[in-house]
Structures are given as C-alpha cells and as structure tokens.
Structure 1
Amino acid sequence: MLGRWAPERPEEVAAVYSGADFPWWIAGGYAIELAVGRALRPHGDIDVLVLRRDQAPVRDLLGAWDLYVAASPGRGSLRACRPGEVLRPPLHDIWCRRTPQAPWSVQRMLDEAEGDRWVSRRDPAVRLPIDRLGRTSATGIPYLAPEV
C-alpha cells in the first residue's frame, strides 16, 4: 500500500500552489537547500507545510490529486482522505500523488495556528508570528525558516 516515491521538485510544487490564497512553505531538506541556494543531497520526498486551518482550500487546490492520511503517525499505515474530511490532531501528514497509479510525490504536513501565530505541534509552548515562519528563495519559492 505504501508504494514508491518520486518527489516533485520545489519548482513543480510552487507551480501547483501558485494560485493559493493561504500561506504554504517547502519544509524539510528542500527548505534547507532553498535557504543555502544549492542542492545538498538526493531526497526521498518533499514536504509542504500548511496550517491546519487551511485544509479546505488546500484540498480544493489539489482536487484531482489522490490523497492519503498517515492514519497512525509513526506506524506506516495510510487511509484514503474522505471528501470534505477535516483532520484533527494527532493526524498531520497527508501523502499526495497526482493519480492513483502515480508514485507519491508530495508529503503535506499540517501545523497549528492561533490567530496570527504558528504553534508547534511538537511543543505548543513554541510559537512564532506566522509572517516570520518562512522565507522566500531567490527563485520566489516560500520555504520554512531553517530555525523552525
């Protein structure tokens, strides 16, 4: 069920999210590369962080994609995202692929927010204004600030 990965490139993700009216950021290893301006290593996946409250517009943006929830975080099981489903904690990872036959290409992660502040799902005491959560690469791609 888990299948293989062929991650999208940051530029491809940016093209998909170009019409988004909500904040999003490349996270993980690709975010570090966007911060330093060069490739550092091969990647098995690409992470995209969005705020949990923006689930509906993200789902609309990826309407034709095949989406699966990591149903048991850390246990390696997936289940299909149900139409209109709103994920609640502790669920926060969604595996995405363009079609059911395609390899997985994006891991979307949901993080918490209260008002204009990001709240770490790992430690709710760690907070940051959302407008300081990310940066923009020289090529215009938003990425999660390395210190986050």
Structure 2
Amino acid sequence: MRTDISNWKPLTVSEINKLFSVIPIHWCIAGGWALDLHLHKQTREHSDIDVIITREEQLIAYQYLMRDWMLYRAEDGKLSLWEDGEYLNSTNDVWVSKSDDSPWAFQLMIIDTEENSWTYKRDKSIRRPMAEIILKTVEGIPYLRPEIQLLYKAGGSKVREKDINDFQTMLPTLLPQEKAWLKSSLTRQFPEGHDWDKFL
C-alpha cells in the first residue's frame, strides 16, 4: 500500500493521448485539463492529470496499461495494488505510476454507463448519451464536456478553491444550453440550492 499521495510528476496531455489512442476503449481527459483543452489554452497549473474510462471497459484498459505501468485502486482513503483480473465494482479512482516508488503519472476515473449513456455517480437520474459527453480538440484529443466536468466539481462534498476558480473562468464561455443543463443538474442534486445557481 502506498501513502505518497503528493508524489506527482504527471504526463503531458500529448503523452496521455499517445498512450491511450492505441487502446480500443472510450476515453477522454477530465479535470482541469479538460476545461483548458476546451478553452484552447492553459489557464492554471495542474498538479495531476485525469483520464476517464468506462467501468465496462476497465479490464481492456488494465491489460494494455499493466505492461508498462503499476495501477493502484483508491478506495476509503487507501491506495492498494489493482490485481490482474480483478473487476472493480465500486472503485471510481485508480492511480498509476511506472513503479512502486516512482511518482504518480495519471489517474483513471471510472465512470458508469447504462444503455450507452453516462450516468452521474452522485445522482443516477442525471445522464447523457455517451456520444454526447466527449468533445475533441482540433488535434483529435478527446476531453469531457465542460458542463459535465463542472458538475463533478460542483457536486463534491467540498467545493475546492480551484473548482470555484475553474467555474469562474469557464462561465463566460458556456453556451446557453450548457448553462441550462448544468443548472438543472445542480438543482436535481441540490434541490435546496447550490452556490453556483445565481450565476447560471
């Protein structure tokens, strides 16, 4: 089990794209990098890099990645080795490094799907067709749609300062339909209201 959670030397976006473009799965870049890819510029420093894969395709991803990487499942605040052939039923987060003492290179965020639709883990009634949740840069790099990424940032138990800053950076660029979807999704998760409602 590893405890060096701050030991990061993340891959670049282009390195992630090169690594995952040969794996026959649905994938895309998420987190702050997804928002920056949408804006076509880097707006802040990123301490890590997140890659989304689907739960149903996790073992395909594992078989490709395990050749050169070590994968650790993150659950209940602990990092333990993801064993060959082990199907992760509830784990949503996997940390990846070259060896058992090298820096973390990227995180896998495992999403759930149902009938070709993504489902939001915090409220399964919030969903979008898989074909809609991924956008691509002009170079063909896939990334998570901004309004969905912002929902993940807004929907956590604690909204971090960088999440608020990311929202403020993205807000002027969001299309009316993107704002409307984010607002309706936040209302569904937080019927009592959310701090971001007044901006949408």
Q: Which has the higher helix share?
A: 2
Match of 1:70 in 2: 74
User: Matched residue pairs, number?
Assistant: 144
Match of 1:81 in 2: 82
Task: Give CA deviations for 1:37-85 in whole Å, capped at 9, x if unaligned.
Answer: 000111111000111001111001202211101121xx3x111111111
Q: Equivalent of 1:5, from 3, 8, 27?
A: 8
Residue pair 1:17, 1:61 contacting (<8 A) in 2 also: no
* SS of structure 1 residue aligned to 2:34: helix
Q: Equivalent of 1:37, from 18, 36, 40?
A: 40
Q: Which runs of 5+ in 2 are unaligned?
A: 149-200
* Per-residue deviation, 1:98: 2.0
* Per-residue deviation, 1:140: 1.3
* SS of structure 2 residue aligned to 1:126: strand
**After the TM superposition, which of the residue ranges 62-71 and 28-37 deviates more from structure 2?**
62-71
| Alpha-carbon separation, structure 2, partners of 1:140 and 1:10 | 12
| Alpha-carbon separation, structure 2, partners of 1:105 and 1:123 | 30
| Alpha-carbon separation, structure 2, partners of 1:71 and 1:132 | 29
Identity of aligned residues (%): 33
| Alpha-carbon separation, structure 2, partners of 1:138 and 1:33 | 13
Match of 2:168 in 1: none
Q: Equivalent of 1:26, from 13, 24, 29?
A: 29
TM-score by length of 1: 0.93
* SS of structure 2 residue aligned to 1:147: helix
Residue pair 1:67, 1:80 contacting (<8 A) in 2 also: yes
* SS of structure 2 residue aligned to 1:61: helix
Match of 1:17 in 2: 20
Match of 1:133 in 2: 133
| Alpha-carbon separation, structure 1, partners of 2:97 and 2:115 | 31
Higher-Rg structure is 2
Task: Give CA deviations for 1:84-142 in whole Å, capped at 9, x if unaligned.
Answer: 110012x1100001222320011101010012111111110110000001100122110
The residue type equivalent to 2:112 in the other structure is: E
* Per-residue deviation, 1:9: 0.8
Give RMSD over aligned pairs: 1.0
| Alpha-carbon separation, structure 2, partners of 1:11 and 1:98 | 18
Question: Residue 55 in 1 paired to residue 58 in 2?
Answer: yes
